[in-house]
Chains A and B, each alone.
Chain A
Amino acid sequence: MRRVALVVGIVVLLGLLLVPLALGQEKKLVFGYSAPGLGDEGQWNIQKGFVDKCKELGIEVIVTDAQQSPEKQNNDIETLIARGVDAICAVPQDSAAISVAVQKCNEAGIPFFTIDRGVTAGTVVLTVKADNVKAGAIAGEVMLRLLQGKYNGIAKGKVLEIRGQPGQDVAEQRAQGFHQVLEKYPDIQIISLPGYWNTEEGFKITVDTLTAHPDLDGIYYHADLYIPGIVEGIKAVKGEFAKVGDPGHIFILGIDGNPAGLDQVEAKLADGVVVQPLRDYGALIVPIIVDYLEKGPEALPKPGTVLVEEGASWSPAMVVETAAGLEIWTNVFYVDYLGAGDPNLWGNKPRE
């Protein structure tokens, strides 16, 4: 009897202790962040930007890493749902495969956001991504200018395009923008091969294409991770690598702007890179998620508006209503070796 009384006493005491805590403290927001894999600089930085902004606003974040497995990502999101988070933000590994988890999230009433890539089915409140078509088009225009510079104003030449994973939307859009610009010029031949986001594959493609086309004028890559493979591939075939500005230089440019990529541009190994504001996606989306949780759909930016913030690398960003839902397309811009050292670029910011 005494023991029962003791237990009841302890429970009551604990309860009394917890009451002021519950009353005094406002409920802390908890967000789930599902990364497709944290192995590459880009994904690591997107995640870091998201987590940093959450910390700044006093939000707790649970980060999961799907290690490139669409199946694991679905499980991760289900775990986040079970954990009862207030909102989930994901970078889908596979836009179609993640849809199952998105629908479960919708059923559970947890708002779902994505960064960088959309989803095929299910409701996503908002997607923040770089304008990849524009990035490809900028790369195409720069390549066109470089070729015209080489051939006294005539648009001609041979260009190798090292793609990402065929079928993946980012790779498709980066190809689309580039082709849109250059296909208007019939004397520019584009040789497109898939590198599957793999540095060694980029090396092999460079070597093989330079062997088949020794007169190659330029190389356009879909991600910075190809640069070391391209440089070494040129060395392997030509015996030496001509840097930017040196005679015999093959134009090299692409998309990403990660730390290694910027270093390589600054070292004149590549002509330039179209930079995406990866590190700042979080700074853009986290406040929108918080507003949405407070005020509902009215808090979302209206399609057709342009978001501007002085000094932010994502600015200006366009709000677009697409078939996949509401999206914000952030700014992308080109830097060459003169601009690659700019400390404001996300790739030049310290990791911690």
Chain B
Amino acid sequence: MKRREFLKTVLDNSVWVILSIFLIFNAFYTPRFFTVLNLRNILIHSSILGIVVIGESLCLLSGHFDLSVESTLALAAVVGSLLVKNGMGIFTSILAMLLSGGMVGLVNGMLIRKVGLNAFVATLITYIGVRGTALGIVEGKTIWNLPPSFCFLGAGTIWLFPVQILLLIGLYGVFHLLLITTRFGRHVYLVGDNQLAARISGINVDRVVVSVFVLSGFLSAFAGLVMAGRLNSASPLFGTGMVFEAMSAAIIGGISLRGGVGSLPMALGGVLLLSSISNVLNLHAVSPYWIQTIRAIMILFAVVLDSLKRRLVRYEE
């Protein structure tokens, strides 16, 4: 019994187990990997993707894709930076950024629930349209040299801790609590698990889905704010290709594409694993021509390890 419980704990936290194995292995085999500076680097690299993954995970848990996250990030970065460069106050600019993200989320939610489009199609439309809007606003120009206060969330530190890392931890904490302790959180899981049953049991599915997309939009926009601060610039090309990384991180973390299964701490594990893999490849300065292949093999290895463990537990049972 004890053994089974142990195995269950391992399975439930498989991504963290794999991450730990990866960290321990590299502590021995990768020079300068296991240093405070480098572990801090990994957390910094994880923060922007991590924030986007919270939004993506909320959508996936409710049984929907959100492809528009990376475009929303770029739009928010461009909108906020443009406003702040044109003399608008920091808070107004940030508010406008977050609102732009919320609006994209609202449009996504409405397209899905009110117009009746498939989430993949609806968010594909906004994925294209929103990046297009970002491009149109600045006509491909890069905005740089932003005010330090605007960059605080991306590049600032509180005592010795980069704000980015504190934000990552804080946001995961808040949204994890939201999912497991509130009625809204339970509804997200129920809608994702079985929409029909959720509706029959009196849950307002429209409201849950629209809220999830609005939250995802807000979070992506927030990630845009952090990225603009981190890079002290904004470009309509920010976040290109990030949606695939966000989905991979969530899936590696065990969030089901069918909805209703998974948790945020696991998704965070997925984010940290992906960032650690990239970090190790950079530290080893792997050939630019092979880096993608090696990254793919490492991800495959992690996923296979995970599926092996699942089989093992099934066998034990």
Contacts and interface: CB of A to CB of B under 8 A. Distances in A.
Interface stretch (B40-48, B100-108, B195-203): B40-48
B288 A193 contact: yes
Interface in A179-201: 191-194, 196, 198-200
A251 B41 CA distance: 22
B238 A259 contact: no
Contacts of B227: 200
Contacts of B288: 163, 166, 192-194
B187 interface: no
A44 B231 contact: no
B231 A200 contact: yes
Contact of A232 (B31, B155, B239, B285): B155
Contacts of B142: 40-41, 225, 228, 258-260
Interface in B231-261: 231-233, 235-241
A38 B140 CA distance: 6
Interface stretch (A23-31, A121-129, A205-213): A205-213
B140 A203 contact: no
Given A199-B238, A225-B142, A235-B155, A209 B45 contact: no
A205 B135 contact: no
B238 A39 contact: no
Contacts of A208: 38, 41, 279, 282-283
Most chain B CB inside 10 Å of its own CB: which residue of A40, A191, A212: A212
Interface string B119-144: 00000000010011001000111101
Interface residues of A, number: 42
Give the top 10 A-B pairs by smallest Cβ distance, nearest first.
Answer: A208-B282, A44-B140, A228-B233, A194-B288, A260-B142, A166-B288, A212-B283, A191-B285, A228-B231, A39-B237
B73 to A, nearest CB: 10
B232 A232 contact: yes
B13 interface: no
A198 B285 contact: no
Contacts of A235: 155
Given A198-B240, A225-B142, A38 B135 contact: yes
Nearest to B227: A200
Contacts of A43: 140
Interface of B: 31-32, 35, 37-38, 41, 44-45, 48, 128, 131-132, 135, 139-142, 144-145, 155, 162, 227, 230-233, 235-241, 278-279, 282-283, 285-289, 291
Contact of B291 (A40, A194, A199, A351): A194
Contacts of B241: 196, 198
Binding site secondary structure of chain A: helix
A229 interface: yes
A232 B233 CA distance: 10
B282 A204 contact: yes
B140 A209 contact: no
Contacts of A40: 140, 142, 235, 237
A193 B283 CA distance: 10
A34 interface: no
Contacts of B282: 193, 204-205, 208-209, 212
B291 A228 contact: no
Contact of A236 (B44, B132, B240): B44
A307 interface: no
Given A204-B45, A211-B37, 15 more contacts: A38-B135, A39-B236, A191-B285, A192-B287, A198-B240, A199-B237, A199-B238, A212-B282, A212-B285, A225-B235, A228-B232, A235-B155, A236-B162, A260-B141, A264-B144
